[in-house]
Amino acid sequence: MSFVSRGFTGRRRTGPPGRLPPGQYDVGEGFPVLSAGPTPHTPPELWDFTVQGQVDQPRRWSWDEFRRLPREPLTVDIHCVTSWSKFDTHWEGVSVDTLLAGVVTDASFVVAFSDGGYTTNLPLADLTDGKAWVVDTYDGAPLDPQHGGPARLLVPHLYFWKSAKWVRGLALSATDEPGFWETFGYHNHGDPWRQQRYAGD
């Protein structure tokens, strides 16, 4: 397993008052790239997104179908478990609420799965009610593969590893199933304001 770390530039800053979680620093204009393994490069015409698992029936969207769904621009702060934060990041994509509209389920948990085999687990409640999106645009441009393009999950209230890059779907379940980093000792939830970096925090 190779690990890629790029993009750490500039001096550490303290960030806007009240918006920097404990133990974090403001990365400024930089946007570090942290990935486990090689970067997938999936052409949009080969990309699709699926909602599956404990649902009344699976849902699937091709790239063109996904792009036609109702879209939202959003500006959010993001916080990486490696201690950097980036403020006022600009994205556009589809709310998870839109993707789950009409889905009948008794599930309480979700595993987001991605190209390259990456997974991360979340309570379903952390993805609904306007808390999460599948985004394909950053700063007004198509999302670059190094940052998760053609599309990534965006869950800004949790540490950024929960915002799965290269996302291809959500598997709903009645039981919690640890994802990639969670099996290596990262915290199961990942709230940056509680410094939930590792198991036991």
Mean pLDDT, to the nearest integer, of 95-113?
97
User: In this model, does residue 109 exceed pLDDT 60?
Assistant: yes
Mean pLDDT, to the nearest integer, of 155-164?
98
Spans of all domains in the chain: 3-194
What's the pTM value of the predicted model, to 2 decimals?
Answer: 0.91
CATH architecture of 3-194: Alpha-Beta Complex (3.90)
Q: Three-state SS string across the chain, please?
A: CCEEEECCCCCCECCCCCCCCCCCEECCCCCCEEEECCCCCCCHHHCEEEEEECCCCCEEEEHHHHHCCCCEEEEEEEECCCCEEEEEEEEEEEEHHHHHCCCCCCCCEEEEEEHHHCEEEEEHHHCCCCCCEEEEEECCEECCHHHCCCCEEECCCCCHHHCCCCEEEEEEECCCCCCHHHHCCECCCCCHHHCCCECCC
pLDDT digits (tens, 9 = 90+) for 52-71: 999 999 999 999 999 999 99
pLDDT digits (tens, 9 = 90+) for 5-38: 344 444 556 667 789 999 999 999 999 998 878 8
pLDDT computed for residue 44 by the predictor: 94
